[in-house]
Structure 1
Amino acid sequence: MSETKRQKQVGQLVQEELSNIFMRMGFNITEGGMISISSVKMTPDLLEARVYLSMFQIAQPEEMMGRIKDKMGEIRRELGNRVAKQLRRVPELIFFLDDTLDHVFRMEELFKKINDEKEKK
């Protein structure tokens, strides 16, 4: 099922505001790595936002997800202050780890190994 125009608009708004909030809270660059919000998917009733986080060079992504979830109340309150004029209700935030970047790096390594083996022959 595809997202409606309104779901996409609200998702983009939430993504932009969360990016600013993460930057202010110091989550975007931490422990020598970087965290970015790769996408936000809204439910049809706009009451739940599924936030996909991409972590680059973070040693323990699960621990970092725990730290972010510990700050959930503060993040949601700040989001509410920022989107109060555009939305009737602040959506519930559910964070997911987006590991597509890891898959891309693994695929690139595999292709490099294959090309190196071909060149040796």
Structure 2
Amino acid sequence: MESKRQQKFAGILQEELASIFQREGAEYLPNTLVTITKVRVSPDLAVAKVYLSFLSTNNTLLSINTVNSHAGEIRYKLGTRIRHQARVVPTLSFFIDDTNTYVEHMDKIFDKISKERKDTDGETTEE
């Protein structure tokens, strides 16, 4: 369970990182929209796990590797923005947020179950 302090700091990081990716994200990933879906911060606020979602990209693994290779530069830009709000700029680790993929997968499963039920209900009423 995250403390209020962690949640508040994660919110600040999420806003500032979103702004960085919105304004300067084309440097790292041209023609790709990056969304910061979640930020988790360690209890000492020294490490931040940032979960990203990518739109209009064919290779999300390549995109996340590109962002991770520029993590130091992104951290520097973040530091210039939050220098008056935090003592230490956290080390950033970027991860793929696969929530949308999971939701799509679950929707397909539920659709399949629904179709199977309709098929079995149709068979029992015909008999």
Q: Same fold (TM over 0.5)?
A: yes
Alignment check: 8 A CA contact 2:38 2:51 kept: yes
Can you give the 5+ residue segments of structure 1 that lack an aligned partner in the other structure? none
Tell me, in whole angstroms, the C-alpha distance in 1 between the residues paired with 2:54 and 2:34: 5
Query: Match for 1:89: what amino acid?
Result: V
How big is the alpha-carbon RMSD for the aligned residues of Structure 1 and Structure 2? 1.8
Task: Measure how far apart 1:57 and its partner are.
Answer: 5.3
Query: Match for 1:99: what amino acid?
Result: D
Task: Measure how far apart 1:112 and its partner are.
Answer: 1.2
TM-score (norm 1): 0.87
Identity rate, percent: 38
Aligned residue in 2 for 1:113: 112
Name the one with the larger helix percent.
Answer: 2
Can you give the 5+ residue segments of structure 2 that lack an aligned partner in the other structure? 123-127
Aligned residue in 2 for 1:62: 61
Aligned residue in 2 for 1:39: 38
Tell me, in whole angstroms, the C-alpha distance in 1 between the residues paired with 2:105 and 2:6: 32
Tell me, in whole angstroms, the C-alpha distance in 2 between the residues paired with 1:103 and 1:114: 17
* Structure of larger gyration radius: 2
Tell me, in whole angstroms, the C-alpha distance in 1 between the residues paired with 2:55 and 2:113: 25
Aligned residue in 2 for 1:81: 80
- Number of residue-to-residue matches in the alignment: 118
Moved over 4 A (4+): none
TM-score (norm 2): 0.83
Query: Match for 1:114: what amino acid?
Result: I
SS at match of 1:26: helix
The 1:30/1:116 distance shift into structure 2, 3 A limit, reads farther
Task: Measure how far apart 1:46 and its partner are.
Answer: 0.6
Query: Match for 1:42: what amino acid?
Result: V
Question: Do residues 9 (structure 1) and 15 (structure 2) align?
Answer: no
Tell me, in whole angstroms, the C-alpha distance in 2 between the residues paired with 1:9 and 1:23: 21
